[in-house]
Amino acid sequence: MKLTLYQIDAFTNKLFSGNPAAVIPLDKWIADDLMQKLGMENNLSETVFFVPSKKNVADYEIRWFTPALEINLCGHATLASAYVLYNHLGFDKPELKFDCKSGVLVIKREKDKLSMNFPAWKPTPFPDYPKELITALGNPEIVNISRSRDVVIELRDEAAVRNCEPDFTLLKKIGEKVMITARGEKADFVSRFFAPIAGIDEDPVTGSAHSQLIPYWAEKLGKNKMHALQLSARGGELWCEFLGERVTMAGQCVFFMKGEIEI
């Protein structure tokens, strides 16, 4: 069996930045354990697979695998998949729809960007958070702790987010995926995302995190349209909008390589 693999840097307009995703188009689903092994072998934060959908609600079905497990939503690999379909596989509809475990995701072309419509997961107060979380983050000054699907920790300022040096071993033991965030200096807000429990110490740019960050910052800033930066070593840039029960996040992609897997 031979499979085609594309590697795309997502949420960036510069090669070697943003979040790299391995994109593997399929005609039909292959075994789950094989997809997981491919995710492990690629050793990127996500390897994404999609197949033509047999349902009327979407064009393709899509699934995402970290090196350690399957997840139910991934923004950057969805963006990368849309980029491959539009730029390499001849997809030409004005809207691209993916069906996944988190519902139907709609992607639109907007000039030099791709815009994704995702569910909004508004964080709520998390008073009973594990106290070891703060230790694992190096005891920074905390403004607020809340959670949705993951833990959202607001820090004092952008510098605190940028300079945080987590204890990933302790974070993995605690068993939570954690994002830290603050008001931005050149953007509306900034963030970083840590997920050692999923086999990813720090994710370079995280779309699913922004499904939680966008409603959080829309309420705090009193605005629905925002510009966001993720302050990982690679860095990433997103243009965001809060729509109530949904959010949109737009970004750019850069092609890195195309290869062939033989199994």
46-52 and 178-183: which strand pairing? unpaired
Report DSSP state, residue 196. G
Question: Using one digit for the tens of pLDDT, what is the confidence trace for 88-102?
Answer: 999 999 999 999 999
Q: Are 18 and 12 in contact (CB under 8 A)?
A: yes
Helix/strand number for the chain, H first, E second:
6, 18
CA distance linking residue 58 with residue 40, whole number of Å: 28
For the record, the structure tokens of 92 come out as 């030409």
**Which pLDDT does position 130 carry in this prediction?**
94
CA quadruple 163, 76, 150, 216: dihedral positive or negative?
Answer: positive
For the record, the structure tokens of 152 come out as 């959202």
Q: Name the stretches of the chain with pLDDT < 50.
A: none
Q: Are 206 and 214 in contact (CB under 8 A)?
A: no
The one catalytic residue in 41, 46, 154, 165 is: 46
CA distance linking residue 235 with residue 141, whole number of Å: 23
End-to-end Cα spacing for the chain:
5
Q: Is 245 a catalytic residue?
A: no
CA distance linking residue 93 with residue 179, whole number of Å: 35
Place of tokens 């997981």: 36
Backbone angles phi, psi at 14, to 5 degrees: -130, 135
**Which pLDDT does position 102 carry in this prediction?**
92
Whole-number average pLDDT of the chain: 97
Secondary structure (3-state) at 126: coil
Q: Are 67 and 20 in contact (CB under 8 A)?
A: no
H-assigned helices in 177-253: 207-221
**Which pLDDT does position 198 carry in this prediction?**
92
**Which pLDDT does position 162 carry in this prediction?**
98
CA 163 to chain centre: 21
For the record, the structure tokens of 69 come out as 């497990």
CA distance linking residue 237 with residue 229, whole number of Å: 5
Domains contained in the chain, CATH given: 2-118+249-262 (3.10.310.10), 124-242 (3.10.310.10)
- Helix pair angle (75-87, 207-221), 10° resolution: 110
**Which pLDDT does position 133 carry in this prediction?**
97
